[in-house]
């Protein structure tokens, strides 16, 4: 029996945080502390977020916003090189500070334990400036022009992020595109010589990663890691997270780092305690793949990474009690793609050998909901429509809090979601399909659907040899049904056509190679080399920082070809794989785009986007629950209030938007009504756009260059 749309929506939008009225009743009985955290960004409130106030005061793009610890003040930094201090109570500008920076401000912070009197800023002029508002006597005017209490000029490139430690009023950390993270102690000095000056001996380098970047997990670090973001855990402040111009976020224990040093000599990077990267991105070797934002969860147990030209990903920090996967460069391919059953020793457990679940103990109502959700997903797959809805229906079942499904349903759900991913074909959906096929085969090693979808996934990736092995396996397990036989015949035809096309390309490629034998690689060869999968398309991004990154690369291009002392002793690193992915936004145009945990519980994830919107997902399931129109061009910054259900956002516009729940805002969309699927499809096309086309458009002077050239 078909499920009507209203019933589908009801099943789809059921959340694990229960009813808000139950929480409010519990608060009156059991106290407020934990209940208040759970109520703050309750699903019923998140779904009703709407624009409350657009706060004016800046004259340029607002690149940074930050709340104070009480939530009474909001700090902002802008292209106009001014800092704004805003009242949360009145929603108005209190102070407008002329900082003296000579370039765009990218980051601002309140310094803890200073009664919100000390603020700090970092900018494109490579300077960190500290302001002590307590030095102002009498009534403070709105417009303030004052000398900074400290100016640190020791960075040589733009400063993209600042970090502070709760309870520490004396130190601020700055992450720069020069590849260093520096520790500025206000007690030691209030100024330092400009970078590259003859007398510069600033001993404040905590992390020297000028020799820290790598294009794949297997590589020895040989390139500068231009830092884009950093964060310090509020729960374990000795933990420091950094991200920059490669695909890997690195977690350090500050207690284990070498003493502070100068930057006079370039050093090997210190070992990190954990490295985070989605497994399918660990060996791409794309020079343009990099992080724009890294963040700890409020409880410090998870980290969130946002990639340029990619999606937002969630990882576990504490791996002991989780199912998160660790991997090395040696086993990426084998973990991404299990061999077909006829090539694999009998390690996998067949579902026929599983003990049956005691159905009497299961929640009948919950199982009925799951069956209805499976109907939604199956219909989406068969019709080829509402694919996102189908994926989310499967995710709701697979990530149910009570795990009230048996192996048969789990297997069918995994296979259905794999088919939906392959049909949807958003960026890297194919790798998500492979993961589901592998999981399904851990339940049934001879699963026909898992083998079929794995063959199709490998075919999409251009891995024809492995796809052929799966097709061979399908011949021995295909059920005697006309539909299944037809599916196998279709995949055989596709494989045959792909092999013919590959042979043609190989012949053309050999001719081309012969013609250019002996010629040195040009700059375009370096920029537009095909990706490791053999695909003819190159996934790229519009990135105003491109020129800076290429300059960094060429500073060490010669040394990257040489062999360092100790290379033979290099130990391959271990990385942590993702546990959830968040898809809908587009992050290619700016390098300061944030992804944030919302609220003290951090149960929802938010990210800005190049289409002028910002998106909210349920953290656990990855379901998109809200799409909000937040800027005329690009939303970059998202910061939730420490205690209230309120979110501040900013971007290319010179205003700051404040979002709070509105009883009338019941739609998934906040802003002009528009088809959600078409918006997301357009964003996915931008993510997968060819890098060469983007650079050609840049030369033609497209409008995006104007808005992002300073980002």
Residue 690, SS3? strand
Residues 156 and 302 in one domain: yes
pLDDT at residue 189, rounded to an integer: 87
Residue 591 or residue 343, greater confidence: 591
Dig out the tokens for 18 from the structure. Answer: 């229960």
If you ran DSSP here, which 8-state letter would residue 191 be given? B
Which of 411-448 are b and which e, b meaning 16 or more Cβ less than 10 Å from the residue's Cβ? bbbbbbbbbbbbbbebbbbbbbbbbbbbbbbbbbbbbb
Q: CA torsion angle for 406, 411, 416, 417 (degrees, to 10)?
A: 90
Tokens 């803890």, residue located: 112
Distance CA 543, CA 705 (A): 9
Out of 178-192, 410-424, 527-541, which region has the weakest mean confidence (pLDDT)?
527-541
Q: Do 316 and 384 share a structural domain?
A: no
Provide the pLDDT confidence category of residue 198 given band limits of 50, 70 and 90: low
Among 446, 480, 502, the domain-final residue is 502
8 A C-beta contact, residue 55 and residue 656: yes
Same domain, 425 and 286: no
- Take residue 75 and report the two structure tokens written for it: 């700090």
Q: How far apart are CA 128 and CA 124, in angstroms?
A: 10
Residue 567 scores a pLDDT above 60: no
At 52 the pLDDT is: 97
Structural domain range at position 404: 366-502
Q: How many domains does the chain have?
A: 2
| Least confident span in 491-495, 650-654, 669-673 | 669-673
**Which stretches of 630-670 are assigned E, i.e. beta strand?**
635-640, 647-651, 655-661, 669-670
Do 374 and 257 lie in a common domain? no
Q: Are residues 279 and 418 in the same domain?
A: no
Give the Cα separation of 587 and 541 in Å (integer): 8
599 and 451 within one domain: no
Question: Beta-carbon neighbour count of residue 151 at 10 Å?
Answer: 16
408/472 same-domain check: yes
The pair of three-digit structure tokens given for residue 53, joined into one six-digit string? 């106030």
Which residues lie closer than 8 Å to 403 by C-beta, 6 or more apart?
A: none
Does 302 reside within a domain?
A: yes
Q: Which of 469, 502, 535 finishes a domain?
A: 502
Asked whether residue 633 falls in the same domain as residue 485, the answer is: no
How many angstroms separate the CA atoms of 564 and 391, rounded? 47
* Average pLDDT estimate for 360-369: 65
- 78: tokens are 């802008």
302-308, strands of its sheet edge to edge: 290-296, 302-308, 312-316, 580-582
If phi > 0 it is left, if psi is from -120 to 50 it is alpha, else beta; for residue 235 that is alpha
Q: How many other C-beta atoms are found inside a 10 Å radius of the C-beta of residue 23?
A: 17
- The CATH number of the domain where 593 resides is what? 2.130.10.10
Residue 529 lies in a domain: no
The pTM score is 0.86
213 and 309: one domain? yes
Which of 386, 377, 384, 385 minimizes the C-alpha distance to 415? 377
Among residues 658, 686, 663, 560, which one has the least CA distance to residue 67? Answer: 658
Task: With cut-offs at 50, 70 and 90, classify the pLDDT of residue 650.
Answer: very high
CATH code assigned at 423: 1.25.40.10
């Amino acid at each position: 029996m078909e499920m009507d749309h209203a019933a589908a929506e009801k099943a789809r939008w059921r959340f694990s945080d229960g009813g808000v009225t139950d929480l409010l009743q519990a608060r009156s009985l059991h106290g407020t502390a934990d209940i208040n955290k759970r109520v703050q960004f309750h699903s019923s409130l998140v779904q009703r977020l709407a624009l409350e106030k657009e706060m004016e005061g800046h004259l340029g793009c607002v690149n940074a916003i930050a709340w104070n610890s009480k939530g009474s003040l909001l700090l902002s930094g802008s292209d106009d090189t001014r800092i704004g201090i805003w009242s949360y109570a009145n929603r108005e500008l209190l102070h407008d500070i002329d900082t003296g920076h000579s370039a765009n401000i990218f980051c601002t912070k309140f310094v803890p334990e200073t009664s919100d009197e000390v603020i700090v800023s970092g900018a494109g002029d490579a300077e960190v400036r500290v302001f002590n508002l307590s030095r102002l006597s009498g009534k403070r005017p709105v417009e303030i022009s004052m000398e900074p209490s400290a100016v640190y000029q020791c960075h040589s490139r733009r400063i993209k992020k600042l970090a502070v430690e709760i309870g520490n009023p004396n130190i601020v950390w700055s992450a720069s595109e020069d590849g260093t993270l520096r520790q500025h102690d206000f007690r030691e000095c209030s100024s330092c010589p400009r970078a590259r000056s003859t007398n510069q001996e600033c001993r404040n380098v905590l992390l020297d990663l000028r020799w820290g970047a790598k294009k794949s997990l297997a590589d020895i670090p040989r390139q500068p890691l231009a830092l884009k973001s950093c964060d310090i855990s509020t729960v374990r402040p000795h933990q420091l997270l950094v991200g920059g111009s490669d695909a890997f976020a690195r977690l350090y224990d500050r207690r284990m780092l070498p003493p502070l040093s100068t930057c006079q000599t370039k050093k090997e990077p210190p070992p990190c305690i954990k490295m985070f990267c989605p497994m399918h991105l660990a060996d791409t070797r794309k020079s343009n793949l990099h992080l724009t934002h890294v963040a700890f969860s409020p409880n410090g147990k998870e980290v969130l990474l946002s990639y340029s030209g990619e999606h937002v990903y969630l990882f576990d920090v504490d791996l002991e009690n989780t199912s998160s996967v660790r991997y090395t460069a040696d086993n990426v391919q084998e973990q991404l793609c299990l061999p077909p059953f006829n090539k694999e020793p009998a390690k996998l457990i067949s579902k026929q050998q599983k003990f049956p679940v005691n159905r009497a103990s299961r929640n009948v109502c919950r199982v009925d909901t799951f069956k209805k959700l499976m109907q939604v997903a199956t219909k989406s797959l068969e019709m080829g429509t509402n694919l996102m809805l189908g994926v989310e229906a499967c995710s709701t079942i697979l990530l149910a809090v009570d795990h009230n499904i048996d192996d048969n349903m789990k297997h069918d759900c995994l296979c259905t979601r794999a088919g939906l991913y392959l049909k949807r074909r958003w960026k890297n959906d194919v790798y998500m399909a492979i993961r589901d096929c592998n999981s399904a085969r851990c339940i049934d090693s001879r699963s026909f659907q898992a083998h079929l979808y794995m063959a199709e996934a490998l075919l999409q990736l251009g891995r024809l040899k492995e796809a052929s092995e799966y097709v061979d396996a399908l011949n021995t397990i295909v059920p005697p049904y006309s539909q299944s036989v037809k599916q196998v015949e279709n995949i055989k035809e596709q494989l045959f056509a792909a092999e013919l096309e590959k042979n043609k390309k190989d012949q053309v490629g050999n001719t081309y190679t012969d013609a250019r034998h002996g010629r040195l690689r040009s700059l375009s060869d370096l920029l537009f080399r095909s990706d490791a999968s053999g695909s003819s398309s190159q996934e790229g991004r519009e990135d105003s920082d491109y020129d800076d990154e290429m300059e960094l690369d060429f500073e060490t291009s010669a040394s990257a070809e040489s062999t360092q002392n100790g290379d033979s002793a290099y130990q391959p690193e271990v990385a942590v794989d993702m546990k959830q992915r968040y898809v809908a936004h587009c992050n290619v145009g700016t390098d300061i785009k944030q992804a944030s945990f919302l609220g003290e519980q951090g149960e929802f994830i938010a990210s800005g986007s190049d289409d002028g919107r910002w998106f909210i997902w349920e953290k656990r399931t990855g379901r998109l629950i809200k799409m909000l129109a937040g800027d005329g061009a690009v939303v970059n910054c998202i910061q939730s209030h420490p205690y209230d259900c309120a979110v501040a956002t900013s971007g290319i516009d010179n205003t700051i938007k404040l979002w709070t729940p509105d009883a009338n805002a019941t739609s998934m969309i906040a802003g002009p009504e528009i088809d959600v699927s078409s918006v997301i499809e357009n964003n996915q096309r931008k993510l997968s756009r060819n890098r060469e086309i983007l650079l050609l458009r840049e030369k033609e002077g497209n409008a995006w260059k104007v808005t992002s050239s300073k980002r």
